[in-house]
Amino acid sequence: MRYTKALLPTQKEAPADAISTSHILLLRAGYIRRVGAGIYSFLPMGLRVLRNIEKIVREELAEQGAEEVLLPALLPAEYFRETGRFDGFGDTLLRLKDRKGGDYHLGPTHEEIITDLARREIQSYRDLPKNLYQIQTKFRDEPRPRGGLLRCREFIMKDAYSFDADLEGAHASYERMRVAYRRAFDRMGLRYRMVGADSGAMGGSQSAEFQVLVQSGEDFLAACNHCEYAENLEVAEPVRGAEEPLAAVPERKELHTPGKGGIDSVAEFLGAGPERFLKSLLYWADKELVLVVLRGDHEVSEVKLARALGVTDVRLASPEDVREKTGAAVGFAGPVGFSGRVVVDPDARAVSDGITGANKTDYHLEHVQFGRDYQGEILSVRAMREGDPCPRCGNPVQIFRGIEAGHIFVLGTHYSAKMGAEFLDDKGEKRPIVMGCYGIGISRLVATIIEQHHDDSGIIWPLSVAPYPVHIVQVGESDAVREASARIERELKEAGIEALVDDRNERPGVKFKDADLIGIPLRVTIGDRGLASGQVELKERTQADPKQVTLLPLEEAASTLVRRIRNELAGTPERG
RNA sequence: CGGGGUGUACCUCAACUUGGUAGAGGGCCGGCUUUGGGUGCCGGACGUUGUAGGUUCAAAUCCUAUCACCCCGACCA
């Protein structure tokens, strides 16, 4: 593609409302444009990346025996009504009416539609197993679209559905999808973890999320760099030592700590480490006030707290509530003599000689010990921290943010039972089909890959998904440059490789900046300077130093590139 | 849904506090210049100041309503 013919509108500055790296770069490099909140157009370059991602996914799914279908995006309400999801989906479902007033909606996911297909077309155990998938636009009226392509109201998703005669078969299908996902994400060059997901509402027996490790994700994960351990911070359980008897300590004593409310300031004032403190936080758990006691250097996980208490809503009490309940200003609350429900994290319980608030403004207590000085329910409510030992291998874990790029799920008979998708087994008995569903956020992946593959200058596409593998930059307007460029372009084309050719009448600096921004992995620079000795320059986008170039004889340039590209695309790393 | 913020040229922003009829840089168009990391100079086009109403001799500016968008949280098969 010649740059002068392409729609490739790069920009120096991004709109102020773009915050995430991928959003900024996708806009600046001319891959997407915003049409509405969470609604985007793909420009030619963006579409090429999208297609490359789709291609990888299609190949890996085909490898595992899945077949592609295309279900409608516009759906009559009757199907979701059958499973109660027309109402159950709530405001997330984009509803509309046709001219006769009939209820319709745009598909947020397609379990009902595929199950309907299955109940009509699958009659016998001989028809099983099947695995059907589509790559399709989904619509969800998200409460808060964000991050450009990361969370949209209209987005492209690959959704697959497996149909098996029994749970064993369903698990085998699930395994095959797991393999397909691993291979696909590996090929895209992603660093990710499979995370055991909270198998919640769907009544499924097994599920896993594929979380891509980035700084800007929506979920917090604890992950280990030494093994494959990764868990959502909402579930991750810190490793605790064996429960040891507490050491004998002196009687508790009051300390005057004027104006020293927060852990850090008291710790400094008293010259004691924060791990010696018992941090006491007052929470509203639904309608009840609960005092939560943690070790001073730990943080509460509100999700874990809510789950441990069996309540739906957990909220930090206001300063007024604290004053009223404890009789002291914020920062001086403590479990000793506290009247009300007290929850103690195991790590706080293990502090044998603690310092905590005296429930009296400007006073703390020292030599405080669980059992002797205060009581409470022992519940694990602290969040895992960066550096905590990995529950699996003991090395320190790191905290990452994650973007959910895929989710695989054994559904069981949830939908098939409700919708009567049954088959006759070999004994002639009717049984519900056992299903699984498997999603990949295709359009989200475009952004996700950038979140992991960029530098200060722009995008750094992995070769497997790059809009073009090669970017030819013509420096200067001489006939020699033009001819050399056309020659390499032609030779690449003969080998089936497309190149983006920057034939604009722009200064070299402009072209180099744009090339870095656009992020094509291999850049060939052709100028009179090199051509004087019959050479062109090859520079890899991963190489930060602009002077780091390889000189190639013009006549070998194309063949060298072809070899490089074929080698790299063939040598797909395999990671389990 | 709760909290915070923003709407002015294609983009980034200024002028708003203290009302006097809109400006800079980038981009775009033309000319000259320059030609290996966003060249320099000259000239030019582009605005119902989100929308509606109100106050006023006069509104980007003050008031009211409304819409849109962004951020944090809640939510997220």
- Residue A284, judged by CB atoms within 10 A of its CB (0-12, 13-18, 19+), counts as middle
Q: Is A90 inside a domain boundary?
A: no
Closest by Cα among A263, A233, A255 to A331: A263
In this structure, the answer to whether residues A192 and A276 fall within a common structural domain is no
Domain CATH for A123: 3.30.930.10
Most confident listed range (A92-106, A161-175, A307-321): A161-175
CA–C1' A25–B33 (A)? 33
Contact residues for A159 (Cβ-Cβ < 8 A; gap 6+): A109, A110, A133, A134, A136, A138, A437, A438, A439, A440
**Percent of chain A whose pLDDT exceeds 90:** 65
Phi, psi angle pair for A284, to nearest 5° = -85, 120
- pLDDT of amino acid A242: 77
Strand B closer than 7 A to residue A16 Cβ: yes
The closest alpha carbon to A435, from A208, A73, A173, A83, belongs to A173
- Based on the domain organization, do A37 and A167 belong to the same domain? yes
Average of per-residue pLDDT across A347-370: 92
Lowest-confidence range among A14-28, A137-151, A153-167, A257-271? A257-271
pLDDT at A574: 42
- How confident is the model at residue A330, as a pLDDT? 82
Q: What is the pLDDT of residues A391-404, one digit of tens each?
A: 889 999 888 888 99
Q: Which two tokens stand for residue A506?
A: 């722009």
Range of the domain at A324: 253-378
Average pLDDT, chain A: 91
Contact positions of strand B to protein Cβ (< 7 A): 1, 5, 11-13, 25-27, 34-39, 68-77
Banded pLDDT at A339 (limits 50, 70, 90): confident
pLDDT confidence of residue A202: 45
Q: Cβ within 7 Å of strand B: which of A 451-470? A: 457
Whether the CB of A159 is less than 7 Å away from nucleic strand B comes out as yes
Band (A197; pLDDT cuts 50, 70, 90):
low
Question: Has residue A59 been placed in a domain?
Answer: yes
As for how many domains chain A has, the answer is 3
Same-domain pairing of A187 and A147: yes
Per-residue pLDDT, A198? 53
Residue A51 predicted with pLDDT over 70 = yes
Confidence of residue A201 (pLDDT cuts 50, 70, 90): very low
A437 touches strand B (CB under 7 A): yes
Q: What is the pLDDT of residues A278-336, one digit of tens each?
A: 998 888 887 788 899 999 888 888 888 888 888 777 778 777 788 888 888 888 889 99
A365 falls within a domain: yes
Task: Tell me if A134 is assigned to some domain.
Answer: yes
Question: Do residues A49 and A179 both lie within one domain?
Answer: yes
Give the mean pLDDT of A438-462: 95
Q: Is residue A547 part of a domain?
A: yes
Q: Judge whether A83 lies within some domain.
A: no
Residues in A 41-80 whose C-beta is less than 7 A from nucleic strand B are none
Within a domain: A271: yes
Whether the Cβ atoms of residue A573 and residue A464 lie closer than 8 Å to each other: no
Are residues A22 and A147 part of one domain?
A: yes
Residue A103: inside a domain, yes or no?
Answer: no
Question: Which tens digit of pLDDT belongs to each residue from A521-554?
Answer: 999 999 999 999 999 999 999 998 888 899 999 9
Tell me the three-class secondary structure of A287-319, residue by residue: CEEEEEEEECCCCECHHHHHHHHCCCCEEECCH
State which residues between 318 and 377 of chain A bring their CB within 7 Å of strand B.
none
Say whether the CB atom of A480 is under 7 angstroms from strand B.
no
Protein residue closest to B37, using CA and C1':
A509
* Residues A201 and A321 placed together within one structural domain of the fold: no
Identify whether residues A302 and A228 lie together within a single domain. no
| Cβ atoms of residues A382 and A310 within 8 Å | no
Does at least one atom of strand B sit less than 7 Å from the CB of A108? yes
Clarify whether residues A175 and A302 are in a common domain: no
CA–CA separation, A570 and A213 (whole Å): 25
Q: Residue A200: which pLDDT band, with cuts at 50, 70 and 90?
A: very low
Which pLDDT does position A316 carry in this prediction?
80
**A476 & A424 share domain:** no
For residue A75, count other CB atoms closer than 10 A to its CB. 21
State, as a whole number of angstroms, the distance between the CA of A27 and the C1' of B73: 27
Is A155 found in the same domain as A10? yes
Is residue A17 pLDDT above 90, yes or no?
no
CA–CA distance, A447 with A467 (Å, rounded to integer): 14
Tell me the pLDDT tens digit for each residue of A365-377.
Answer: 999 999 999 999 9
Distance CA A304, CA A380 (A): 8
Residues A142 and A221 in one domain: yes
pLDDT per position as a tens digit, A218-276: 888 888 889 888 888 877 888 887 777 888 889 999 999 888 877 888 888 888 888 89
Q: In 3D, which of A111, A107, A390 has the Cα closest to residue A236? A: A390
The answer to whether A137 CB sits below 7 Å from nucleic acid chain B is no
CATH number at residue A506: 3.40.50.800
Coil/strand/helix, residue A23: helix
CATH number, domain with residue A319: 3.90.960.10
Helix, strand or coil, per DSSP, at residue A270:
helix
**Poorest-pLDDT segment among A23-32, A411-420, A432-441, A566-575:** A566-575
Q: Are residues A267 and A345 in the same domain?
A: yes
